Amino acid sequence: MASNNPYLPYLGTLVGVRDLATGVKMFQVALDDPGERAGFTYQPGQFAFVSAFGVGEAPFGLASTVLRGPLLEFAVNRVGTVTDALHRLGEGDVVGVRGPFGNWFALDKMKGKNVILLGGGIGGAPLRPVIHTILDQRADYGRLTILWAARLPSLLIFTDEFDGWRAAPDTALHVTVDQGDEAWTGNVGLITELLEKVAPAPENAVTITCGPPIMIKNTLLTLKRLGFSPDQMIVTLEAKMKCGIGKCGRCNLGEKFVCTDGPVFSCAEIGQFLESF
Amino acid sequence: MGEGSELIDKIRAKARELLQGGRVDCFIGYEEGSRGRARPAFIYDPQDAERLIWDERCAHNLVTYLHQFKSPLRRGEEPPRVGILVKPCDSRSLNILFREEQIERERVYVVGVTCDGVRTNGRPQERCRRCAERVPLVYDIVMGGVPNVLGRDDYADVTKLEQMSPRERLAFWTKEFDRCIRCYACRQACPACYCFECVAEQLDPAWMGIAIDLPQKQFFHAMRAYHLAGRCSGCSACEEACPMGIPLSLLNRKVAREVEALFGYKAGQDAETPPPLATFKKEEQLPM
Amino acid sequence: MQVTTREHLTAWLDGLAGHLTLIAPKTVEQRVLYRPVADSSEIAFDFARTDLPVKEHFLPPTHVLLSIEKGKEGVRLGEPSPERERVVFGLRPCDARALRVLDALFLKEPADPYYAERREKTTLVGLACREMGETCFCTSLGLAPDEAGDVDVMLTEMEEGGGEGERGRGREGGRRYAVQVMTEKGAAILGVLNLEKVEGTLPVPPAGSKTPVLEAGAWPRLFDHAYWARLADRCLSCRLCTYVCPTCRCFDVRDYEVPCEGASSGGASNGSAPGGRIERLRAWDSCMAEGYRRIAGGHNPRLTKGDRLRNRLYCKFCYYPQDYGPVACVGCGRCIAMCPVNVDVVEVLADVATL
C-alpha cells in the first residue's frame, strides 16, 4: 500500500498545551516530518482530524493560520472519549493529524466588505484564523465586528486576545454570556439579543456564524430580520465524522457532505438542504 | 384460531372504540403486510382499525414498541396512552415491564387474545409446540375461544446442551456466533432490552469494541443472556429476528432454567413478585 | 458459444484454490455465504442467493486500517500487509453490480486504498440466475439476472436435454455451463479450464418484476411527507438491512490496544499503554442506529426512527445517484427477505410513486 493512503495520519508533536477555558484546551502541534510540515497548507475554515492514539481521532477546526507560522492549533472541548484522551496529553506527546479537509471561507470575496463574526462557545475557534487574517491584512477589509458568546464567563475562549482585537483599527468586540458570575461586569444575554443591540448594517457586509446548532439557527433568523440576505450569511457546521473524505457516509445533510461540500456553507445553500443540521 | 373472522371483527371493534373514546392515542396490533406476511400495525385513526388482523402469522412480540411511546408524540403533551394486542407469551413481557416500572399500567389498555400457536412461513414455531400458557396472564379484556392445544415444556433442547461437555458447548456456540453479524436485531426485537445506551455500544467505559469478530460477538451474546437472567419471557422474538438463524432462545432458556432451579422463579408470571436478581434476602448470605 | 461441464469446473476450481484464495458460496448451518473454500467440494453450486452479499470480502465487517507502535524511538505507523490474490466464484449479477456501485464512491479520488486493493486483486467469476427469487427485483433497477458486464467471467447454467431439474447424482458432473470471457483478467484466470465450442445460444433469463423506481430528482418534494414516520413506526432500528445490503457501506473507526501476543484486538480500551501496539480498526456501522449521528455533547440531528429510515431510503435512491451516479440498490431483495417487521423496499417504491 502506497503512502497515498488518506487514512494514514501525519505524526506530530504537541509543542504547546494551555487552558483556554473550563474544559477547553489549546493544542499546538508541530508535524514531525519537515516535508509534511511544509506541505500542510490550509485556509481558514478547514479542519483536520487529530488522533489520540489508542482511542481514535476526531475532527477539529483549524484555529491557526499559515500566515502566522507552521504550528497547527486546535481548540479542543472535552466532551467525549477522544477529546478526553487528548486532554490527558501534555507537551512532548505524539498525536496524529490528517488533513486539511473541507472547504474554506472565501476571504478574498470578503475584501472591501464589512465583516461580522459571531462565535458561540467552542464555535469561535474556526473564526479565530479569520480574525487573524483580517488583522494581518487590515487595509484589505472594511469594518470588523466580532460578537463573542458563551454560556458562562469561564467558557469564553481566547479571552487573552480580546485586548488585541479591540485595539485593532476599525474593529469592535462585543462579548456576552448567557449567565454571569460575581466577577462578570459585561453583557448578560443571548448572542441574538446582543446582535439586535449592536444591529450591524447589512450594506456591503458579510457575516460568519459558528456555534451550537440552535445558536446558528437563531442567529440566522435574527440576521434575516436585520436585513441580511441568505448569500450574506455564512456558517460553518460540525457533524460526527469518521473519515473526512466523504467515504464513511456519516456526515451527510441530504446529498451534501459536511466534510467535502462543507463545513462552510452559505445560508442560501443551507436553505436547499433537505435535512436539518 | 379463536373464532376466525368473528374474532378479528371483535378486535377491530375494540380498537375503534378505544380510539374513538380517546381512551388510547394509538392501538398496536397486526396488519396484512406484503408477500403474505403479517406485520405490526399502529392505528392512530379509528377508521384505520379496519386494517387489523389476527391469525397464526401474527408472531411478533409487540410489547417492545411500548418503549417508543414513553415520550410525548408532540411537544408539551403527555406521553400517549396505548392499546396493545398481546398473545400469552407477549403478556409475560408486559408483566416484566410493569414490574420493572418501565411502563405504567394505567397508560396501557391490554387486549389479550388466546393463542393456539403462531407460524413462520407456514411452519409452526418451536416455542409454541412446548407452550403451556394459552391464555394471556394480564389483560384489560381477553378475546378468543378456549385454546385447543396445550403444550408442555420438557426443556429437551436445554438438556441436550447440558449433556455436552464444556469444550463441546464452547465449540457449539463458537460455530453459531461465527455467522453473527452484530446487527442487534435480537436486542432491538426484545422487549426487555431497553437501555438508552447498550453496554455493547458504550464508549466510556468501552466494555466491548466495535469489531464484528468472534470475541466481541461472544461477549455480546453472553452479556445479553446474563442481563436477561430472570427477565426473559421466552417469547423468542430474538431468534425470529435473527437473519442468520442463530438459536438465541436456547441460550436464554438455559439461563432461565438456571434461574428457575436457583430461585424457583419464572419471569413474567405476574407484575408483583420481586425478580430474584434485583432482590436481596438476608438468608441469601454466602457462608463466610 | 463456449461451454464447460461441472466436472471440468470443479477440477479448475481445485487448481485455483491451490495458489490463491478461492471464495465461493458455502453452506454454513442453514445459510449460504460467500466464504473462502479449501477446494470445490465445499462449494454450494445450487443456491438462489447468498444470505450475506459479497461486499464482506471488499468492505470487511472489521479490518485493520493501520497499526500504531509506541516504542522508545517514538511512534511508528504501519499499514496492513498486502492482500492475497483472490477469485470469487458464483457471483450473482446483483452482487457484481453492487461492486460497481461501491466503486463509484470508494474509487473516487481520494480512493480508498483498502477497497481498491481488494478490487484489483480479485477476479470475479459470475453465475447467472436461472430463476428470480421471491424478493428479487433487479429488473426494476435496469439490471438483468444474466447481466455479464460486471464480472470477469460469466457462467450460465445450460438446461439439460430434457429441461431443468435433472438432479440425479451421476448427472451432476455433466451439468453444463456456458462460459463468457468478459475481460482480460477473466481470460487470464481461465487457464486450463476445459472448454468446448458448441452451437447454440444462451438460455433466456427469467422474467422479472417492473416496480417503478422514482428518479433521484423526484424524491426531494416527498421529504416532509408523513409517510416516512408512519413507515418507521414498526422499524426496530436494528442494523439488519444495512448489513445484509450489498451497497450499504457506512463505517466506524476506533483504536484498540492489542492486549498480548496472539490475542485479538477490537477489545475494550480507553487509555494508551506506554509501550505496546495499537490497531486502528474499521468496522461496519449503520445509519439506522440511533446514535449514528450523535456527537459528543449530545446533539443528534436524526433523532427519530422516521428520520433515519427516510435518510436510508433517500441515500439509496436520491443522494447516492446525485453524488456518484448509480442508484445504491441492486434489487437483491435481502432486506425484504430478512427485515423482521416487513419493511419492504419494493412496497415503499410502489407507495412513493403514488404519494
CB atoms within 10 A of CB B166: 7
Closest chain C CA to residue A246: C105
Cβ-based contacts of A51 with chain C (< 8 Å):
255
Q: Which of C66, C251, C255 is opposite residue A55, by nearest beta carbon?
A: C255
Cβ-based contacts of C237 with chain B (< 8 Å):
188
- What would the mean pLDDT of C127-144 be, rounded to a whole number? 95
pLDDT at C73: 83
Q: Which of A257-261, B117-121, C132-136, C262-266 has the lowest mean pLDDT?
A: C262-266
Chain pair A-B, CB pairs under 8 angstroms: 6
B197 in A contact zone (CB under 8 Å): no
Closest CA to C301 of B200, A223, A270: A270
pLDDT at A270: 93
Contact at CB, C295 and A239, closer than 8 angstroms:
yes
Cβ-based contacts of A81 with chain B (< 8 Å):
203-204, 206
Contact at CB, B203 and A81, closer than 8 angstroms:
yes
Boundaries of every domain in chain B: 5-143, 156-275
- What would the mean pLDDT of C158-169 be, rounded to a whole number? 52
B35 in C contact zone (CB under 8 Å): yes
pLDDT at C165: 45
Cα-based distances in Å from B156 to A97, B120, B127, B142, B251: 58, 21, 12, 31, 13
Cβ-based contacts of A277 with chain C (< 8 Å):
301
CB atoms within 10 A of CB B249: 23
CA distance C268 to chain B (A): 5
Distance CA C346, CA A179 (A): 53
pLDDT at B279: 86
Would the pLDDT of C269 be above 50? no
**B residues 221..240 contacting A (CB < 8 A):** none
Report whether A241 contacts A214 (CB < 8 A): no
pLDDT at A102: 98
pLDDT at A3: 67
Closest CA to A160 of A142, A143, A178, A173: A173
Contact at CB, C117 and A238, closer than 8 angstroms:
no
B204 in A contact zone (CB under 8 Å): yes
**Amino acid code (one letter) for A108:** D
Give the tens place of pLDDT for each residue, C245-261: 999 999 999 999 997 55
Neighbours of chain A (3+ CB pairs under 8 A): B, C
Distance CA B52, CA B8 (A): 7
Neighbours of chain B (3+ CB pairs under 8 A): A, C
Report whether C45 contacts C10 (CB < 8 A): no
Closest chain A CA to residue B202: A81
Contact at CB, B240 and C340, closer than 8 angstroms:
yes
A179 in B contact zone (CB under 8 Å): no
Cβ-based contacts of C295 with chain A (< 8 Å):
80, 238-240
Cβ-based contacts of A84 with chain B (< 8 Å):
204
Would the pLDDT of C170 be above 80? no
CA distance C323 to chain A (A): 7
Would the pLDDT of C266 be above 70? no
Closest chain C CA to residue B211: C266
Closest chain A CA to residue B206: A81
Band the pLDDT of C167: cuts 50, 70, 90: very low
Distance CA C51, CA C215 (A): 28
Distance CA B25, CA B15 (A): 10
**A residues 68..87 contacting B (CB < 8 A):** 80-81, 84
Which residues, in sequence order, are CB contacts of C92 under 8 Å at separation 6+?
C49, C50, C126, C127, C129, C332
Contact at CB, B210 and C252, closer than 8 angstroms:
yes
**Amino acid code (one letter) for B218:** Q
Give the tens place of pLDDT for each residue, C175-234: 999 999 999 999 999 988 999 999 988 999 999 888 989 999 999 999 999 999 999 999
Tens of pLDDT along chain B (288 residues) come to 445 799 999 999 999 999 999 999 999 999 999 999 999 999 999 999 999 999 999 999 999 999 999 988 788 898 999 999 999 999 999 999 999 999 999 999 999 999 999 999 888 998 998 898 899 999 999 999 888 777 888 899 999 999 999 999 999 999 999 999 999 999 999 999 999 999 999 998 899 999 999 999 999 999 999 999 999 999 999 999 999 999 999 999 999 999 999 999 999 999 999 888 888 888 877 766
Cβ-based contacts of A56 with chain B (< 8 Å):
none
Q: Is the peptide bond before A100 cis (omega within 30 degrees of 0)?
A: yes
B206 in A contact zone (CB under 8 Å): yes
Band the pLDDT of C171: cuts 50, 70, 90: low
Closest CA to B201 of B178, B175, B183, B180: B183
A88 in B contact zone (CB under 8 Å): no
Closest chain C CA to residue B68: C233
Which residues, in sequence order, are CB contacts of A116 under 8 Å at separation 6+?
A145, A146, A147, A200, A205, A206, A207, A208
CA distance C33 to chain A (A): 25
CA distance B110 to chain A (A): 38
A168-198 in b/e burial notation, b at 16+ Cβ within 10 A?
beebebbbbbbeeeeeeeebeebbbebbeeb
Low-confidence ranges of chain A (pLDDT < 50): 1-2
Cβ-based contacts of C66 with chain A (< 8 Å):
5, 7-8
